[in-house]
Amino acid sequence: MNDDLARMFARPSGTFRPSVLIRSRAAGGGSRSEPRPTEDGVSSRPHVAPDAADPQSRPAANSGELEETLHASLREGGDRPARLDTPGAVPEDRTAATSLPRTAHAMPPASNDYQLEAVGLAKSYRKASVEIPVLRDVHLAVRRGEFLAIVGQSGSGKSTLLHLLGTLDAPDAGSLFFEGQRIDNLPAADRDRLRNHCFGMIFQFYHLLPELTTLENVLTPLMIGKSVWGFLRRRRAYRRAAERLLALVGLSHRLKHRPRELSGGEMQRAAIARALITGPDVLLADEPTGNLDRATGQEILELLCSLNRQENLTIVMVTHDLAIAERADRMVRLVDGQIEDC
């Protein structure tokens, strides 16, 4: 599996950015004859359906095409005109953004290399009248394309930190920067859009919606992000993108199944496909292997590693398992609500 994935993600250049991709496509359109972007932004290249009956034979055959799939689906997510439309937001083209002078922040400015940066985050929970501090002064910087593992014991606040990074929760103090832009104080609607477009999340308990099929579960973020009309207009393209992603994670034979008909590993892979459908910049994984047996957990981990390596996808993973954390590029430890490098 690992080798298959490695091969299927094999790509010539190391850097992968949606905007870069669009540009290189536009410039060097002649270099590849087949894949022309349609108006939907999804490749119009005819999709060779992976052999659903024999998933093992699937990935190796068409690694180029799968790469194309990710491009397409990621580019779909990259197509976000009003992503950070707050006043003073960075221009949409992020390659340009990195070269622009940073707007002044109250907090010390983060380095341009950091895609996601937490500065002095603090969070405490209130139980009755007692305040229980969970995070205090957490400083964390994640580079673009980095695979970061956060380890810590149960109750150390790992999940809380991840929720803060994913803007699911607001910190009591400190600030959070994404692409150099402060995001923890954005209006709720902007944070919703950010979660939809820029962050992908996977959870220990998969959290697939039980009423929907695997395919529909994967399509959910697109349905959330688009208007009804916008979704229906492009539903064929979206459906193809979702099918390719599911093929990529090895679930093309489970499209019409409900989550309760899937195994744990399959559910987690479906959850990963769901997290990737909008082409996020950062994947936030909350104990993705915590509920799986060792072998399945390894498979999931391999999948994450290859996504990180091949697609240069930034991954922040929270785990209590050191063996798993060691697969990451970098590992930090959350102790007493503070980050310690390992």
Partner 1 sequence: MYKLLLCWRYLRTRYIALASIISVMLGVATMIVVNSVMSGFATEMQNRIHGILSDVVLEVRSLDGMADADWHMEQIRRVAGEAIQGMTPTVVVPAMLSFRHSDQWITRQVQLIGIDETTQSQVSDFGKYLQHPENRRAMSFQLREGGYDTRDHQGGPEAKERPQMKRAGWEHRRLMAEVQAFNRMMAQQASPGGAPDSAGPDGAASPPADERPATNLVDPFAAVQRPRQEPVFDPARQQHTGAVLGIVMASFRRPTGEDSFLILPGDDVKLTFPTAGTPPKIATDEFTVVDFYECKMAEYDSSFVFVPIRKLQELRGMIDPATGMGMFKSIQIKLKPGVDGDAVRDKLAEAFPRSLYEVQTWRDRQGALLAAVQMETAILNVLLFLIIAVSGFGILAIFFMIVVEKTRDIGVLKSLGASGSGIMGIFLSYGLSLGLVGSGVGLALGLVFVDHINDIAAVLGKITGKPVFDPSIYYFYRIPTIKDPWTIAWIVSGAIAIAVLASVLPALRAALLHPVEALRYE
Binding site for partner 1 (CB under 8 A): 160, 163, 166, 168-169, 188-189, 192-197, 201, 203, 207-212, 216, 220-221, 223-228, 231-232, 274
Minimum Å distance from CB 217 to partner 1? 10
d(CA 146, CA 115): 9
Q: Which is nearer to partner 1, 231 or 330 (CB)?
A: 231
Minimum Å distance from CB 246 to partner 1? 17
Q: Which is nearer to partner 1, 5 or 186 (CB)?
A: 186
Helices H / strands E in the chain, number of each: 13, 10
Q: Which is nearer to partner 1, 12 or 210 (CB)?
A: 210
d(CA 134, CA 189): 27
Minimum Å distance from CB 314 to partner 1? 17
Minimum Å distance from CB 46 to partner 1? 26
Q: Give the DSSP letter string of 85-111.
A: -STTPPPS-HHHHHHSPPPP-SSPPPP
Minimum Å distance from CB 26 to partner 1? 28
d(CA 231, CA 210): 22
d(CA 129, CA 82): 41
Q: Which is nearer to partner 1, 66 or 208 (CB)?
A: 208
* Burial (Cβ within 10 Å: 0-12, 13-18, ≥19) of residue 40: middle
Q: Which is nearer to partner 1, 54 or 211 (CB)?
A: 211
d(CA 120, CA 289): 29
Q: Which is nearer to partner 1, 222 or 305 (CB)?
A: 222
Residue with tokens 């850097």: 15
The answer to whether 324 and 297 have CB atoms below 8 angstroms apart is: yes
Q: Which is nearer to partner 1, 101 or 187 (CB)?
A: 187
d(CA 202, CA 218): 12
d(CA 7, CA 118): 34
d(CA 150, CA 286): 10
Minimum Å distance from CB 160 to partner 1? 8
Residue type, 290: G
Minimum Å distance from CB 208 to partner 1? 8
